[in-house]
Structure 1
Amino acid sequence: MVSTVPTLDVELNGEAVHDIDAPDAFATDGPFPVVLDNAGRSTHVHLHFDDELDRVTAVDEVNHFVADEGTRHVHVSIADVDEPVRGKLKIVTGYGSNTRYVDVRIEPSDETPDEPVAVDETLSAPPERSPDPPPAQRAVNALDRLVRRGGVAGAVLGFLAVAAGVALALAVDSVVVWLAVGLALMVAFGAALLAVA
């Protein structure tokens, strides 16, 4: 079996214009790149797997442009096979002016399939609920959430507004002012509860 991820290296325009230098044979047991390495002027390359290989391989595109002295990587996906599949990869340059064939063999992967995971019955039981923290800890947690949400300035302003309202109610001694202060206290308390929830 093939153990490493091989690369099918193809040199273009090495000896002459539209020249293709590729190995005679190539074997793999998984996805692989076809590396088109251009030694000359820009060129177009067409890749075609014959019928046998076409059933187990896939490429996003079959026509590729390779820039002047550039390199292009073409990813070839492979389906799982139970027995070796053999066929030919046809490499064409210069719009058909030059063609090269590579004998390709796809081997079954030697990776073992994932074993099913045994599930313990305790995993299906709902998690135990942790006990509620004591009131003092809840107050500290609420204050911490308020501070993390940036509510310190709001809390200080709210406290100052309530203190000013109480002072005004004491100075004026009016039922309407006391009702307004009570309403302000309820709104401030509700806002504080929403901020820490």
Structure 2
Amino acid sequence: MTDSLAVAVNRDGLHTLAVPTEFEAGGPFAVELHNHGEAAHVYLNLDDRLSTVARIGATNHYVETGESRRIQVETRDPSAWPNDPVRGKLKVVVGHGQETQYADVTFDAEHGRNEVQVAPDLSTPANEPDQGPPPVLRVLPVVVLGSVAVLLAVAAVFTGEGVNATVGGLATVAAGLCAVAAYFLLR
């Protein structure tokens, strides 16, 4: 569905109209008058069937040379429309009756009824507690194991030689990596 019905005025000569033969709407729409020639009066009229669901504020519109004008077609609340689509004719007249054309317009109430209504309370976030443990508890095992590794590494470096010193150095590096991991987990 589109929200505007384009009408070309004076495009093919003085007092000529080009009006789409069919148009479908689910609510308010605009009739866009595009004047390609001399200034003209354009009359818009909804037939009786369309008038049950829609209305045009003014029927007579003066359109200057080269001017485009949007005429709003307002509708009643779609929930008050009949269950079946409303079909009728939009009459477009130029040159005080010299040229008349009709567009078959269909208002489909289902379009308006298919809109989802969102409750206002759904727009505010719920204050639910975090499902997981606090960040400190998630990092605690890493901190404990890192501390044990540091203690073992320091003890190995001071009490041994050779292989013990190498293992102590590797344990110190591992403890440092655990500290870096704990830092990134707590951020």
The TM-score range, normalised by the shorter chain, is: 0.5 to 0.7
Aligned residue runs from structure 1 range 11-160, under 5 A: 11-79=8-76, 80=78, 81=81, 82-108=83-109, 109-112=112-115, 114=117
Tell me the CA shift for residue 54 of structure 1: 1.0
Q: What is the TM-score when the length of structure 2 is the normalising length?
A: 0.58
Tell me the CA shift for residue 117 of structure 1: 6.4
CA distance in 2, matches of 1:102, 1:9: 11
CA distance in 2, matches of 1:64, 1:35: 11
CA distance in 2, matches of 1:32, 1:117: 27
Tell me the CA shift for residue 110 of structure 1: 4.1
Aligned residue runs from structure 1 range 167-186, under 5 A: none
Tell me the CA shift for residue 83 of structure 1: 2.4
Q: What is the TM-score when the length of structure 1 is the normalising length?
A: 0.55
* Aligned residue-pair number: 116
> 1:190 matched to which residue of 2?
none
Tell me the CA shift for residue 58 of structure 1: 1.2
CA distance in 2, matches of 1:116, 1:74: 33
Which SS does the other structure have where 1:96 is aligned?
coil
CA distance in 2, matches of 1:71, 1:29: 24
Tell me the CA shift for residue 69 of structure 1: 1.0
Which SS does the other structure have where 2:96 is aligned?
helix
Are the equivalent residues in 1 in contact too, given 2:15–2:94 (CA < 8 A)? yes
Tell me the CA shift for residue 112 of structure 1: 3.2
> 1:10 matched to which residue of 2?
7
CA distance in 2, matches of 1:12, 1:110: 35
Q: CA RMSD in A?
A: 1.9
Cα distance 1:66–1:114, how it changes in 2: closer, same or farther (>3 A)? same
Are the equivalent residues in 1 in contact too, given 2:11–2:37 (CA < 8 A)? yes
In structure 2, the gaps of 5 or more residues are 122-187
In structure 1, the gaps of 5 or more residues are 119-197
Which SS does the other structure have where 2:92 is aligned?
strand
Are the equivalent residues in 1 in contact too, given 2:45–2:56 (CA < 8 A)? no
